[in-house]
A and B are shown apart, each in its own frame.
Chain A
């Protein structure tokens, strides 16, 4: 079993649909992340959750709604998306120590390939 598991692997949705992406980490980490990977662009950090509290929202449109019910699970709720939101969505986790003494190593899942029609 991989350390970070994302489901589904592929998702096709219409612009009026509501869907959710799921991420689960089995590494005992306390921080989780959502990234967007579009073609020919650097990975874009979307959200950061540290100890279940959202610590970063990188100017992401409100049609993306994250949820972190506990330190092992992270969701990305999607509604009324646009075709330009089609991308690979990657989840990652890391262990963040007090005082910033962590190793800053993030472990990634295999992503969800999202296509918005």
Chain B
């Protein structure tokens, strides 16, 4: 069974600074995908970034990038130049190839201080 662990219940960062959110996962599959979702106070979960396990290159989306360490089963999210609008709950999630089942971590609440 897949598991996803986020060990930081809360994090804070100053506006314009960089913050890294941690995530570890466990799976016996070789084909899987990893995701970071953002849930602002509006409650809608928004996909931030996605990583295919077979790709060695770390995914990036503008100010968001991941550090994917496959051997260590680690998938951290780096947010550069943090903005007030980045304040939200961030969830790490995984799924295996061909499966519709997303497994989520408990989330990290990110506060951005002006």
Residues of A within 8 A of B (CB): 2, 31, 33, 40-43, 45, 48, 50, 55-56, 88, 90, 92, 94, 96, 99-101, 103-111, 113
Contact = CB atoms under 8 A, between A and B. Distances in A.
Interface string B82-114: 000000000100010111111111110000000
B43 A104 contact: no
Contacts of A48: 100-101
Interface string B33-57: 1010100001111110010000000
19 contacts: A2-B44, A41-B106, A42-B103, A43-B91, A43-B104, A55-B100, A90-B43, A92-B45, A96-B100, A100-B98, A103-B50, A104-B97, A104-B100, A105-B47, A106-B47, A106-B102, A107-B47, A108-B45, A110-B43
Q: For the side of the interface on B, what is the size category?
A: 20 to 34
**Central interface residue in B47, B91, B101, B106, by most chain A CB within 10 Å:** B101
A33 B106 contact: no
B4 interface: yes
A104 B99 contact: yes
Interface in B1-44: 4, 33, 35, 37, 42-44
